[in-house]
Structure 1
């Protein structure tokens, strides 16, 4: 295959997939950004996503448990805030916007769902079940399951883990104290036996 053929094929592939380039989408929509609510919200969520990913990465590298807990809590709050905006983003993705091409509009539902998947994939220190992400064309916004774990559930889980750890520590301390008590009792019995033996010897040999 010649160089010209290779360049031609590369150009065709780039043209085929350029509609998925979010940066190009943003630049090409600068003229209609004032009334393109989807683009505004999408850009804002992308920035929030980048910030949350940075905090999640910092938490994974951090050694201090307190700092890790703080960072993970901030990530969870950020994810919860972004989840609340996803239904609105999905609704806006299906609306026509003056000045935006039909091809660009067709990709917006996929962009919204892709952003939702990225949000759920962020590590936040809490293991949650896999969430099904449904297409807006096949379900209404009320049927879209954004989050099956509420902040109260997360708080309760953290408290439960903390209480279990405290209970285990308390049981360990009580077990050690019990062993110490047994050892002291054994020593006491030994001393009593020695005392009785000494008294018996004293009586035999005055």
Structure 2
């Protein structure tokens, strides 16, 4: 099969758009809420990255426009689970921001019990929250995806975050809530549109009269 030179740049850009950031990266959307707030929209995104040096980096960030920020707004706690075969962890494996702690087998309201929960205080909330798990040779990103333990009134999920310090939404008095989810976040729509445009442009070039 012959590939024209003008297609090479299209294929190269397509590959760049589809590649994960860093050595390996996966993202998940937290689209369930407690405190009577509506489900469905991704309010928090969890990104897990394998830095390639036996370290796993978690980034937990609120979605743009999902909250109206109040005083000390940010993520106050975050829970995740270990899949079968993952490296057993201790508190010594966690590199946390100042003022944050970690505990094992802890609940996140409405979403069950998690293997590990990192927590801050009202004064140390962060958006985004970034922390590192060190010294986990042989682990993959799949090692950090497993459902929480029941009971879980809002449903068992892989991840849950407590977000606090936001202005109450209309019809609600809540200034904090727990958000959970297990849904993979696909390639951003903007990247898909750009890729489609590049392919279409390549087709026009191919059809241009000589």
For normalisation by structure 1, the TM-score amounts to: 0.24
Higher strand share: 2
* Greater length-normalized contact order (CA 8 Å, ≥ 6 residues apart): 2
For normalisation by structure 2, the TM-score amounts to: 0.23
Higher helix share: 1
